[in-house]
Structure 1
């Protein structure tokens, strides 16, 4: 009984000494280090505690040399396997922790974008609604009776209503993209036909702004896509280019096919985009200006975000770069 008690006390003392040393290491040099380092130290504390107890028992002659060698081989083998498993598990935990941190950062960024979107949309809807209310009240109260002024009020009410309807439509499309509810009906789509329809629609808008709108290609590709979504991509890119191109400027639509697949480019003469703004061009509600007062020509800042979402739904990618006296948007489809 005395030998058992002495063995227990010796093992306890050795284990406590090693454990205290391990805790000092964890709270000192390894504070703030990786999860892998902490797991390795904890495994070493466990193994060294067993080894310290074995060596202490051997020094007091409680076990034979043969038993000591057997125990050291067994503990050494177990320690090697444990450390290898700890390194593997620590690496997985570290990667999982990094992914979780990145996911939290993305969630915070998405939440910030949602708050910004709500602020922008609230302003974009509140401002025209106030104008519409004022004009409607003026017409209802008979404050405005001149036929030309009444006609102008009707025209402005119609224009503002159309603009708000377009903004709500953009919001609905963006919500479908973000919610993963976008259902594409894929077919063989000649991209030239989509561009031709978009050019026909945008030509009156470009003519009213005094902008030259052209389209050319050495051979429009045929791609796998959904016609309504592809039409919206091309239409949004052309309208965005027209919106920011000054009078007498040019908006050119080109396309073709190379080893990477089909591509479409929309170039303008807007004067270029500041380099600091290029990474944010496709962000929701980004308009490249701090001014938030909308005009009839201003969009809701959602068009390019919708372009990116629809292009990625087709497994393609979209990019923008400054080129010449303007910028060039390039869409690629596999």
Structure 2
């Protein structure tokens, strides 16, 4: 028993010396290739066994014949393990280089193509994460391109809508100034109307900028969907009468909502104004409010004849007005974008779909 303890102590001392030297070497070579670290690790393992054996032999616990046998076995094991470590390191480095090339294409703006060569589990997991990041980055780039296109269209349309009324205002102001206006009262009324339309456009731009900047402040209170619809219909009544459009109640339930009544009234007003402008004379615009599970659905149905299927996904985009709305009363194409922004701020969603004879805008909000 005593001899076994001594053998264990001598072997531990020899192995500890080699292990310490190996730790120092690993620290020095920590920035080198993984193949070098793996080869060094196998060398430390075999060297620890050999050092322990030599320590035991030095203490005269082994004969010279046994020492030769053990040394030969350790040498063969060292060669085999070193070759295996080098092969493993080469495999890992190959996978790393393939992954590095694929990541380089991602950095240059291309898509990430996961290498088909087998790799260790850690590199495979990293490749999977890079693949997911590439997909998200592509979606983000596509969204950024769509937003940039929308901004360019908005600037072009706003410039168009501003140029015409400003030119008209300048001409009427010059006519009044020169005293050549045959009906100054009519000119004043036209100037006032154009100023009000420009003011409305600027207010819409300001509201949209607040929504997109995330600075829209909501003051939620308990309101009834019935009251919201009633107020919106009352506000849109004069415009509907002027254009010969009927406003109809398509079933309005007194469903409670926890929302900002002022902002939701603006949402319904924008939807109604949009529907009235698109509905021909003698047409009907219907408004409804109903329960749907744990939500409330506010809907406005018009008689516009429908929206082309290719344009449906763009209806709520900033600046979108369709191909036939380049001039007033098409507006700046901000009303529906404001609708979506306000509704999403209320944790709801705004959708549109075609129905026989027109289209139906729906606002889905959480029920109180």
Pairwise same-fold verdict (TM > 0.5): yes
Task: Quote the residue 2:172 is aligned against.
Answer: 135
User: Is 2:352 aligned against 1:320?
Assistant: yes
1:285 is displaced (CA, Å) by 1.5
In 1, Cα distance between equivalents of 2:235 and 2:325? 29
In 2, Cα distance between equivalents of 1:222 and 1:299? 33
1:109 is displaced (CA, Å) by 2.1
Partner deviation per Cα, 1:82-109 (whole Å, 9 max, x = no partner):
8111111121122223322322332222
Q: Which has the larger radius of gyration?
A: 2
Runs of 4+ with deviation above 6 angstroms: 48-51, 72-80
Task: Quote the residue 1:243 is aligned against.
Answer: 277
1:34-73 to 2 correspondences below 5 Å: 64-71=75-82
> Aligned match of 2:126 in 60, 65, 89?
89
Q: Is the 8 A contact 2:250 2:287 kept in 1?
A: yes
1:159-178 to 2 correspondences below 5 Å: 159-178=193-212
| SS of alignment partner, residue 255 of structure 1 | strand
Cα 1:261–1:76, aligned 2, differ >3 Å: closer, same or farther?
farther
User: Is 2:256 aligned against 1:256?
Assistant: no
Task: Quote the residue 1:7 is aligned against.
Answer: none
Q: Is the 8 A contact 1:220 1:257 kept in 2?
A: no
Q: Is the 8 A contact 2:161 2:331 kept in 1?
A: no
1:206-221 to 2 correspondences below 5 Å: 206-217=240-251, 219-221=253-255
1:229 is displaced (CA, Å) by 1.0
Q: Is the 8 A contact 2:154 2:320 kept in 1?
A: no
Task: Quote the residue 1:306 is aligned against.
Answer: 338
User: Is 2:231 aligned against 1:194?
Assistant: no
User: Is 2:217 aligned against 1:183?
Assistant: yes
In 2, Cα distance between equivalents of 1:183 and 1:77? 60
In 2, Cα distance between equivalents of 1:218 and 1:123? 39
In 1, Cα distance between equivalents of 2:169 and 2:85? 85
Q: Is the 8 A contact 2:151 2:319 kept in 1?
A: no
In 1, Cα distance between equivalents of 2:300 and 2:353? 11
Q: Is the 8 A contact 1:265 1:331 kept in 2?
A: yes
1:227-242 to 2 correspondences below 5 Å: 227-242=261-276
In 2, Cα distance between equivalents of 1:133 and 1:183? 38
User: Is 2:292 aligned against 1:279?
Assistant: no
In 1, Cα distance between equivalents of 2:223 and 2:88? 64
| SS of alignment partner, residue 247 of structure 1 | coil
User: Is 2:136 aligned against 1:99?
Assistant: yes
1:112 is displaced (CA, Å) by 1.9
Which structure 2 segments of 5+ residues have no match? 1-32, 43-71, 93-118
In 2, Cα distance between equivalents of 1:290 and 1:324? 21
| SS of alignment partner, residue 264 of structure 1 | strand
- Give the structure-2-normalised TM-score: 0.69
In 2, Cα distance between equivalents of 1:153 and 1:186? 43
1:63 is displaced (CA, Å) by 7.4
Q: Is the 8 A contact 1:255 1:265 kept in 2?
A: yes
Alignment RMSD: 2.7
